[in-house]
C-alpha cells in the first residue's frame, strides 16, 4: 500500500518538477544563482533535480586527515559532503576544501557547529554573520554554482518550541539574503536536530518569508526516531506538503539501543523512505567521533578509509549510497 501511494504521488510530483525544471533551464539567472528548490525538491544550478547521498566530515576537528580523506569519500560514489566547521577557523582554509570537493565532483554543504544545542537567538545570528563577512561572501559568490550554507548544526535543544525556532531563524534568513547570498539555505530542526514538527508547522512560513523562496530543511534521526511508523508517517507528511527536506544526520540501532543517544533507529528504513520519496540523506559521520560516539564512525579512525560495519551499511546496503547516488549535473 505504501509503495502504491508513493508511486502515484511521485508520478505527479516528478511531472511538476519536470515542468519547473524546463522553466528553470530557460532562465539564465536561475542557472547562475546556484541551488534552488521547487515543488519540494532540490534543484542544482542547471535547474536539474539533485538528490543528496552523502556523509558528514569533521574538517573543523581533523583538518588534514579530513582533507586527505575527500578523495576516498568520492571513490565511494558520494555526491555531497556536509563540512563540519567552526567560526574560529578562517575562510581561506574552507576555500581549500570547497575547491577540492569541486575537483572531486561532490557538492559541499557548509555547516557551523558552534551553536549545537544552544538556545540563544543572538548566538544563532552570529553564525549568519560569519557567513556574511566580506571574505565569506566573496567565496560563496565565487563557488555559488555548487555550494550550500547550513547556518547552524542543531541549534535549539528540546526546550525550544516551533515558534521560538521560527522566530530565531527569520533574521538569519534576511541577513543572508540582504548580504547577497542567493543559493539554498539549509536549516536544521530544533530538539538537537530531531524535532520535525516545527518544520511541518512553520516551514512554509519561513519559505514565504525568504525572498528567494529557497530553503532546505534538515532533520537528524537518532533516539527520537526509534518508532518505524513515525519515520514513514512524518517523512511522507513533509513530502506531501512539498517542504524540501533532507535527513542531514542519522544513526542506527547500536547495542540494542543501549548507547549514549538511546538510538534504536532503523537506518535501512530511513534510506528506503528517502529513496521512495526522492529525499536526500547524509550519514553521520566519516570518522573521528569521541569514545561515546565511536559507534558512528563510518571508517576506522586508524586509517581513515577501512569501512566499519556502519560504513558498509551506509554504502553497500540495498538503498545505500553506491546504488542510489547520482552526480550533480553541474559537474557533467
Smallest Cα–Cα separation from 56: which of 314, 328, 230, 316?
Answer: 314
Dihedral of CA 288/85/45/18: which sign?
A: positive
Q: Which sequence positions are flagged as catalytic?
A: 154, 249
Instruction: Say how many C-beta atoms besides its own lie within 10 A of residue 100's C-beta.
Output: 17
Domain boundaries, given as residue ranges, for the chain: 52-327
Q: Measured between alpha carbons, how far is 143 from 137 in angstroms, rounded to an integer?
A: 10
Q: For the whole model, what pTM was predicted?
A: 0.91
For residue 3, the model assigns a pLDDT of: 34
Dihedral of CA 325/275/110/70: which sign?
A: negative
> pLDDT of the chain along its 332 residues, tens only?
333 333 333 343 444 444 444 444 333 333 447 999 999 999 999 999 999 999 999 999 999 999 999 999 999 999 999 999 999 999 999 999 999 999 999 999 999 999 999 999 999 999 999 999 999 999 999 999 999 999 999 999 999 999 999 999 999 999 999 999 999 999 999 999 999 999 999 999 999 999 999 999 999 999 999 999 999 999 999 999 999 999 999 999 999 999 999 999 999 999 999 999 999 999 999 999 999 999 999 999 999 999 999 999 999 999 999 999 999 999 98
- Which set of grid coordinates corresponds to residue 161? 518550541
- Which set of grid coordinates corresponds to residue 213? 523562496
Smallest Cα–Cα separation from 82: which of 150, 143, 132, 144?
Answer: 150
**Does residue 247 sit in helix, strand or coil?**
strand
Instruction: Say how many C-beta atoms besides its own lie within 10 A of residue 12's C-beta.
Output: 10
Smallest Cα–Cα separation from 287: which of 74, 52, 73?
Answer: 73
52-327 CATH, one of 3.20.20.80, 3.40.50.620, 3.30.300.30, 3.40.50.11540: 3.20.20.80
For residue 332, the model assigns a pLDDT of: 86
For residue 309, the model assigns a pLDDT of: 98
Q: Measured between alpha carbons, how far is 78 from 58 in angstroms, rounded to an integer?
A: 16
Scan for cell 537528524, then name that residue. Answer: 220
Amino acid at each position: 500500500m505504501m509503495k502504491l501511494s508513493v508511486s502515484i504521488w511521485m508520478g505527479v510530483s516528478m511531472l511538476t518538477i519536470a515542468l519547473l525544471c524546463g522553466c528553470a533551464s530557460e532562465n539564465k539567472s536561475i542557472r547562475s544563482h546556484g541551488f534552488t528548490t521547487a515543488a519540494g525538491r532540490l534543484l542544482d544550478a542547471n535547474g536539474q533535480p539533485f538528490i543528496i547521498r552523502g556523509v558528514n566530515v569533521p574538517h573543523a576537528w581533523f583538518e588534514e586527515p579530513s582533507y586527505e580523506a575527500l578523495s576516498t569519500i568520492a571513490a565511494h560514489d558520494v555526491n555531497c559532503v556536509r563540512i563540519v566547521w567552526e567560526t574560529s577557523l578562517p575562510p581561506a582554509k574552507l576555500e581549500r576544501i570547497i575547491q577540492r570537493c569541486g575537483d572531486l565532483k561532490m557538492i559541499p554543504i557548509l555547516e557551523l557547529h558552534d551553536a549545537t544545542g544552544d538556545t540563544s537567538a543572538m548566538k544563532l545570528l552570529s553564525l549568519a554573520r560569519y557567513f556574511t563577512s566580506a571574505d565569506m561572501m566573496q567565496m560563496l559568490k565565487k563557488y555559488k554554482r555548487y555550494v550550500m550554507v547550513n547556518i547552524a548544526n542543531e541549534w535549539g535543544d528540546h526546550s525550544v518550541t516551533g515558534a521560538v525556532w521560527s522566530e530565531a531563524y527569520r533574521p538569519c534568513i534576511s541577513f543572508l539574503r540582504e548580504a547577497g547570498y542567493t543559493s539554498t539555505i539549509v536549516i536544521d530542526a530544533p530538539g538537537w536536530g530531531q524535532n520535525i514538527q516545527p518544520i511541518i508547522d512553520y516551514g512554509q512560513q519561513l519559505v514565504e518569508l525568504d525572498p528567494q523562496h529557497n530553503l532546505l530543511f534538515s532533520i537528524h534521526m537518532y533516539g527520537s526516531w526509534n518508532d518505524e511508523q513515525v519515520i514513514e508517517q512524518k517523512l511522507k507528511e513533509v513530502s506531501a506538503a512539498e517542504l524540501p527536506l533532507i535527513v542531514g544526520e542519522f544513526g542506527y540501532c547500536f547495542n540494542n539501543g543501549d548507547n549514549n543517544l538511546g538510538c534504536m533507529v532503523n537506518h535501512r528504513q530511513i534510506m528506503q523512505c528517502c529513496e521512495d520519496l526522492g529525499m536526500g540523506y547524509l550519514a553521520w559521520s566519516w570518522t573521528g567521533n569521541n569514545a561515546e560516539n565511536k559507534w558512528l564512525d563510518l571508517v576506522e579512525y586508524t586509517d581513515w578509509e577501512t569501512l566499519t560495519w556502519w560504513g558498509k551499511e551506509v554504502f553497500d546496503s540495498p538503498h545505500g549510497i553506491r546504488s542510489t547516488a547520482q552526480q550533480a549535473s553541474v559537474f557533467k
